[in-house]
Every structure is written in structure tokens, then in C-alpha cells.
Chains A and B, each alone.
Chain A
Amino acid sequence: METFQFGEEIQSLMSVVPPPEAGNSFTALLELPANQAVKLLHDETAPNTLSSSVFPVMETDNSLEMTSSIVPNSSPNNFNLVKEEPIDSESLRNSSPNPSDPIISKSTKRKEREKNVKSSMKKSKHVSNEDEGEELPYVHVRARRGQATDSHSLAERARREKINARMKLLQELVPGCNKISGTAMVLDEIINHVQSLQRQVEFLSMRLAAVHPNIDINLDNIFSAESGSLMECSFPAMVTPQPLSHQLWQPDGLTPQPLWGVEDMNTNFITPENSLLSYDSSGNSAENGIMKTWEF
């Protein structure tokens, strides 16, 4: 169904004559020549295929470029490996970047390395002094051969790359996004994911409303030690990771009101706050009552 919609959208757009836009936006990503854009988004291609056409200038720096562009997709462990890559004539003079933000600092490190390479290149533009930190506000960007060198496009390119890095993070977060290439479809997936999560919350709250005659959802009774099976059900659901994609809400209708006086017993007691993983064993008589019923 989604591909069908895509086809319709594309057809409707094809009929419009496009005006040239100054893309100072997210979509400026797409101003890049197509192969570059694809290669920026595609990180799983092997190092060999990322040929020097993508990074045309750095013949010497090629190996470094390849590895640094692939790294963002991998875990922080591999980050250390890349750091130890043999660097010929240069040393990383930056302080070690914040490991919690490897991707964004990686792109700035790449640019730093570009700067250090001695080669005859077009003049570069230093935006400002770099400030290492969580969010790097200033980025040293160097013009690559064959690309415009005025400050606007450089700033735009830096911005685009920041956005790309974040998009990669999102791709890893949302299940099933790693295989997709192209900003539009990834965004599609993200939107679907957010919508499905919101819908799930809606349905679950409806279900809870159906189950509880009053909304004082008091779960002290769950923590009685005797009910082993109950613990196994609720706690694993809480603590272990769950594949969300498999858990669609089955619309099984509203559950009938339960015939249990247990709930009424609980509402009479104004119990103190319990965290879900602590036991309230201080002689709560509701619990004792329930424990007795379970001994049968």
C-alpha cells in the first residue's frame, strides 16, 4: 500500500514544473549528485566500492575516509579500532572525543584530518575555532575539489552532514530501517513507528479503563510472595526487551468486568507508593487476604 502511494505521489509531482529552490533545509541533502547522496546514506557497502569518486581529492587519505565513513554505523567498540588506524604523516591532535557522541565527533575528526593533509587544494574556509564538547557548534570544513567554496554552501554541507549523522542514529533505532536507502522512505518508517506507538498507548489505556471499574490501579496484591506464576508473567514482561513489531494489539473487545472482590478490598487502603520491584511486606492486610485465597 505504501509503494502504491509513493507511485501516486511521484506521478502527481511529475506534472509540476519544478522551480529551482535554494535548499537551505533538510532536503538540501538531495542537492548532492545522486551517487554521492546514496553513498552518504549507504554505509554497508564494502570499502572497495566506495571508490575515490566519492571523495575525489584525498588520494592519500582514501583509506582513512573509507573507514571513517563506515564507522558511524558500528558500535562504539569499533570506534577505538578506527582511531588506531595508521596515520601517515599526521597525528590526531584533538582531545579524544566524547564517546557518547561518536558519530558527530567522527565527522568533525574526518574534517580535521582533511585539514591536516598537505596537498594543493582550493582555499579552505575556517568557520571558527573548534570547541570540543557534546554538541560541537563549530566545525572546520574544507572545500573538496569540484565543489563550491563560498561560506554558504560549506555551512550547508556541514549542516547536511550533521543531519545525516542523526538520521543514521534514527535508522538504527527504528527496526527495519537499516535496509532502506533514501531519506523519504526512512522518514516514512519513522512516522509509521511513532504513529503505531501512539496508537498502542491509546488502545492499552482503553483496555485498562475497561478492566478497572475505578482508575485506582493498585498493584500491591501482585507482590505477594506466594503467587509465583504471577511474578513470572509480569516481571519478565517488564524487564526483558520485547520485539515491539510483534506485539500488535489484538482487538479482542472489552474484557468483561471481573468478578473479584479483591479490587474493592484494595481501594479501601490508601497504601504508600511502591516501586514495581519492591515488596511491601509491612503487614498490608489486603495482601494477606489475597495470599490466603491463593493458598487454596
Chain B
Amino acid sequence: MYTSSKLKREFYKKWVKGLQICCSSKKKMDILERKKKIRLCADIALASAKNVTTSWSIALIYEAQKDDENKILVDNLIGPELRLKPQNTTRQMIACHKRVRSNKILKKSRHVGQRMRKKCPPKPNLATYIAKTLVKKRTRLLKTLVPGGESMDEYSLIKEALDYILSLRVQVDVMKSLVNATEVLNQSDSKIFE
């Protein structure tokens, strides 16, 4: 699968920058902490590497900002102008979606009664019901996976998932090549020092 090298470069730059910031703060970190920091930096770098901000990236950044100690990191990576935006837009989005959903529920409750009276209700079809439930379960699961996905309707959820998958691939590719590079470096150095 093709992943754009430009995005990879962007992501890599930001990631290394974030790691350097992390490194300058503390001196001693055990392996789990290191892993968390690496992962965090990678996520934030991924979210900010794209020029077009999608809602999953905004949600990621917002989540990261909640933690106080990460705030400095986020600020330096993203830049001060973007910092305020996530908080406002996420809250707006959530409020908007709740409003939309409550409106839909109101509308449904109004029309369902009318429709029941107008025409006979559709025959309960077992196969359809099963299929529908399966799909519903899976959309719920997908919503938990994609960051910021809970407050989205299915249509934009699919779009976000598409985007998220692409960016995850970029992340995985960059990290893999970094691991490969350091491993080769290790091998060649250990051979030299023998």
C-alpha cells in the first residue's frame, strides 16, 4: 500500500523534535515510560503532520492536552495558535452532534406515530434484523477505535476511519524503518567493536 513520503517526512520531523523535547526534561526513565513517551510523541506528530485537520486529529490532540505535563510538549510541537482551537472545536462538535441527535430523536418520535397509522408496519424480517444488529455492533466498535469517533454519524465516521487508517500506516512505516535502521546500526557497530 502506498504511503506518501511527504507525509512521512513531516511526521518524522515532528516526532524527533518532540522526542528531543521530552529528553531534555527528564534524565532517567524506565522502559515503560520511554515507550509511553515515544508513543505519545508519535501520535501527536501524526495528528499535526497533516495540513488538513480532521476531527480525529483534533480529538487526539485534545486528549493529549488534558494531561498537564504533556501540554508543554504539545505546545512546542503544534504551535500556540493551534492550541486553543482544539478545545473549542471539540466541544462545539460534541454539542453539535448531541443537538443533532436529539433533534433526530424528536423528529422520529413525531413521525413514527403518524407512519404507523398511515401504512401497515413492515413485516419483521429476522434476517434483516440480525444483519442490522451485527452492523450496529461493529459501527459501535469502530467508533471506539477511531479517536473522537463517538460523536459522529456513520457517514463521517467512515471518512474519518479512512483517513485514520492512512495516517496509521504512515506512522507504522516510519517507525519500522527507524527500528530497522537502528538495528542495522547496532549490528554494524557491534561488529566493529568486536
Please give me the residue from chain A that is nearest to B29 by CB atom. A215
B145, A222: Cβ atoms under 8 Å? no
Chain A residues at the B interface, C-beta cutoff of 8 Å: 6, 9-10, 13-14, 17-27, 29-31, 34, 152, 159, 162-163, 166-167, 169-170, 173-175, 182-184, 187-188, 190-191, 193-195, 197-198, 200-202, 204-212, 214-219, 221-222, 227, 229-230, 233-234, 237-239, 241-244, 247, 254-255, 258-260, 262, 273, 275-277, 293-294, 296
Give bound CA distance, A206 to B146, whole Å. Answer: 22
Closest 9 CB pairs of A and B: A18-B129, A209-B34, A26-B154, A187-B138, A27-B132, A209-B35, A234-B181, A204-B175, A237-B177
Known: A193-B165, A217-B16. A255 touches B183 (CB 8 A): yes
Not counting A23-B132, A184-B138, A205-B38, a sample of 12 additional A-B residue pairs whose C-beta atoms are within 8 angstroms of each other reads: A20-B122, A22-B108, A193-B165, A197-B165, A200-B172, A201-B175, A204-B179, A214-B29, A237-B173, A237-B181, A258-B190, A293-B189
Please give me the residue from chain A that is nearest to B107 by CB atom. A24
Chain B residues in 8 Å Cβ range of A293:
189, 192
Give bound CA distance, A183 to B180, whole Å. Answer: 38
Q: Choose among B17, B112, B129, B162 the residue that contacts A22 (Cβ–Cβ < 8 A).
A: B112
Chain B residues in 8 Å Cβ range of A260:
185-186, 189-190, 193
Give bound CA distance, A169 to B162, whole Å. Answer: 8
A263 CB to closest chain B CB (Å) equals: 9
A36 CB to closest chain B CB (Å) equals: 12
B59 CB to closest chain A CB (Å) equals: 15
A208, B142: Cβ atoms under 8 Å? no
What interface size band does chain B fall in? Answer: 35 or more
Give bound CA distance, A195 to B142, whole Å. Answer: 10
B189, A234: Cβ atoms under 8 Å? no
Q: Which B residues, 166 to 194, have Cβ-Cβ distances below 8 Å to chain A? A: 166, 168-169, 171-186, 188-190, 192-193
A229, B155: Cβ atoms under 8 Å? no
Known: A166-B158, A237-B176, A293-B192. A202 touches B122 (CB 8 A): no
Known: A205-B39, A212-B34, A237-B180. A190 touches B142 (CB 8 A): yes
B133, CB-defined interface residue at 8 Å: yes
Chain B residues in 8 Å Cβ range of A184:
131, 134-135, 138
A239 CB to closest chain B CB (Å) equals: 6
A197, B169: Cβ atoms under 8 Å? yes
Q: Choose among A13, A183, A206 the residue that contacts B130 (Cβ–Cβ < 8 A).
A: A13
B4 CB to closest chain A CB (Å) equals: 11
Give bound CA distance, A242 to B185, whole Å. Answer: 22
Q: Which B residues, 111 to 169, have Cβ-Cβ distances below 8 Å to chain A? A: 111-112, 115, 121-122, 124-139, 141-142, 145-146, 154-155, 158-159, 161-162, 164-166, 168-169
A187, B155: Cβ atoms under 8 Å? no
A-B contact pairs, 25 of them (CB 8 A): A13-B134, A17-B124, A20-B124, A21-B129, A22-B111, A162-B155, A184-B131, A197-B168, A198-B145, A200-B172, A201-B39, A205-B39, A205-B42, A211-B182, A211-B186, A212-B182, A215-B23, A217-B178, A219-B181, A221-B185, A238-B173, A243-B1, A259-B193, A262-B185, A262-B189
